[in-house]
A and B are shown apart, each in its own frame.
Chain A
């Protein structure tokens, strides 16, 4: 069994944060979340070659500005690559009729390849890469604490309709915080079981029952670890007099500076430009 099969933490990019202290890192998280949403929406709408190339270069520029190596973004694209390729091939072969118009390059039975369907394939692959890149810039330049604080602050108006904004953001913070911890626990358990002769994913793929049975020695202890950790955390929180629903203030106040609003304005204008870009 290859060693990399035990390395669960390597595949988890969630909650990764690179504190390079760049100008993008210092933007108010609320502004970053709104700007991110606007950009993703614009990328999802934009369907021209030129527009997507501009968007892609803009996103690469974001990596430079935040001083994050582009490799981090590429590592997010890598696992999705087979799906992008399969999707592209399927679109290329069977979308000719839907995306009719343009020049027909090849017609063979049901397979029709037109200039329109080629455009569709290239644009959707580019779009996918752009969205992965933008989201990696967001998560790599903003810590999960900042993100959830930003989210909670943006959702604050919902408090008036008795929606438990603070509690929900706490639940999400706990969930994200514990993913890497459990991944490490899981690695430990896999190694412990394997050193006693257990084998994971070794049986052939058609032996579904075998493969399912292989999982039980991992999944059930995982739930136990989770429940025990939960009890510890409950105790720790109650020992510190945490009261759900209580009014609380925060040590760090989020404050947007004029520069942050300029960034937001720029992102808005850029998105409008992408949407209405004529070529």
Chain B
């Protein structure tokens, strides 16, 4: 048993981090929702997927990459604050992993779906709470944003997470996973 980071964990964290950065810089990761906080985003989905397939540490690292890239790309003052842009994002992958681990015994599919939902909601709630604490948004506005941005984000997150993780897991079961050295999840 290898302890700490295996090669697979390192590589998957890096590759999904690249997807998170790409979704941000190409603006493909944004859903145009006309609200005060601007666009809804799906850039947290790589962190959710990383958390589910490779555990909380990988989820946390992808969250960190997502946070830093959103901090560097930010054009509105709200996300130029590292406490809003980076800190809450660390927890996305962790809560997604915990949810997945908890529900796995009930049903694999349900667990993945619920983890996608919880991961997304974690992002919405923590970012908005931080925004209110740091005084960027009034509590009332934050609740509106949570509904108008958070819900579409969560729905998209569930769909993408399910589609990707289910097929990735199948890929593993079918014996297509090329390397046999790193421990299976």
Chain A residues engaging chain B, CB cutoff 8 angstroms: 8, 11-12, 14, 80, 83, 164, 167-168, 170-179, 181-183, 186, 205-206, 208, 211-212, 215-216, 218-220, 222-224, 226-227, 229-235, 237-238, 242, 244-245
Does B15 contact A172, Cβ atoms closer than 8 Å?
no
Closest to A8 in B: B26
Does B7 contact A234, Cβ atoms closer than 8 Å?
yes
How far, in whole Å, are A177 and B10 apart by their CA atoms in the complex?
14
How far, in whole Å, are A176 and B15 apart by their CA atoms in the complex?
9
- Subset of 28 A-B contacts with CB under 8 Å: A80-B75, A170-B10, A170-B14, A171-B14, A171-B17, A173-B14, A174-B13, A175-B14, A175-B15, A175-B17, A178-B18, A182-B18, A182-B19, A182-B22, A208-B31, A208-B152, A219-B42, A222-B19, A223-B19, A223-B160, A227-B12, A227-B164, A227-B168, A230-B8, A230-B14, A232-B178, A242-B7, A244-B10
What is the minimal beta-carbon distance from A84 to any residue of chain B, in angstroms? Answer: 9
Q: Quick one: which of B11, B25, B156 contacts A230, CB cutoff 8 A?
A: B11
* Interface size class, chain B: 35 or more
Chain B residues engaging chain A, CB cutoff 8 angstroms: 2, 4-8, 10-19, 21-23, 25-26, 28, 31-34, 42, 45-46, 49, 61, 65, 75-76, 152, 156, 159-160, 163-164, 167-168, 171, 176-179, 181-182
How far, in whole Å, are A234 and B182 apart by their CA atoms in the complex?
9
Number of A-B contacts defined by CB within 8 Å: 147
The interface residues of chain A lying within 8 Å CB-to-CB of B42 are 215, 219
The interface residues of chain B lying within 8 Å CB-to-CB of A220 are 160, 163-164
What is the minimal beta-carbon distance from B42 to any residue of chain A, in angstroms? Answer: 7
Q: Quick one: which of A170, A178, A183 contacts B26, CB cutoff 8 A?
A: A183
What is the minimal beta-carbon distance from A19 to any residue of chain B, in angstroms? Answer: 23
How far, in whole Å, are A245 and B5 apart by their CA atoms in the complex?
8
What is the minimal beta-carbon distance from B1 to any residue of chain A, in angstroms? Answer: 13
How far, in whole Å, are A183 and B24 apart by their CA atoms in the complex?
11
Q: Quick one: which of A14, A175, A219, A245 contacts B65, CB cutoff 8 A?
A: A175
Q: Which of B26, B31, B45 has the most CB of A within 10 A?
A: B26
How far, in whole Å, are A174 and B27 apart by their CA atoms in the complex?
21
Does A224 contact B167, Cβ atoms closer than 8 Å?
yes
Closest to B159 in A: A216
What is the minimal beta-carbon distance from A227 to any residue of chain B, in angstroms? Answer: 5
The interface residues of chain B lying within 8 Å CB-to-CB of A173 are 14
The interface residues of chain B lying within 8 Å CB-to-CB of A172 are 14, 17, 65
How far, in whole Å, are A99 and B4 apart by their CA atoms in the complex?
52
Closest to A201 in B: B32
Does A211 contact B28, Cβ atoms closer than 8 Å?
no
How far, in whole Å, are A11 and B23 apart by their CA atoms in the complex?
12
**Interface contacts beyond A212-B156, A233-B15: sample of 4 additional A-B pairs, CB < 8 Å, sorted by A:** A175-B14, A215-B156, A216-B159, A222-B19
Q: Which of B7, B8, B18, B26 has the most CB of A within 10 A?
A: B18
Closest to B13 in A: A171
Does A12 contact B25, Cβ atoms closer than 8 Å?
yes
What is the minimal beta-carbon distance from A212 to any residue of chain B, in angstroms? Answer: 5
How far, in whole Å, are A170 and B21 apart by their CA atoms in the complex?
16
The interface residues of chain A lying within 8 Å CB-to-CB of B76 are 83
The interface residues of chain A lying within 8 Å CB-to-CB of B15 are 174-175, 178, 226-227, 229-230, 233
Does B171 contact A174, Cβ atoms closer than 8 Å?
no
The interface residues of chain A lying within 8 Å CB-to-CB of B14 are 170-175, 177-178, 230
What is the minimal beta-carbon distance from B39 to any residue of chain A, in angstroms? Answer: 10
Does A244 contact B17, Cβ atoms closer than 8 Å?
no
The 8 closest A-B pairs by CB, nearest first: A174-B14, A175-B17, A178-B18, A83-B75, A223-B164, A230-B15, A235-B178, A235-B179
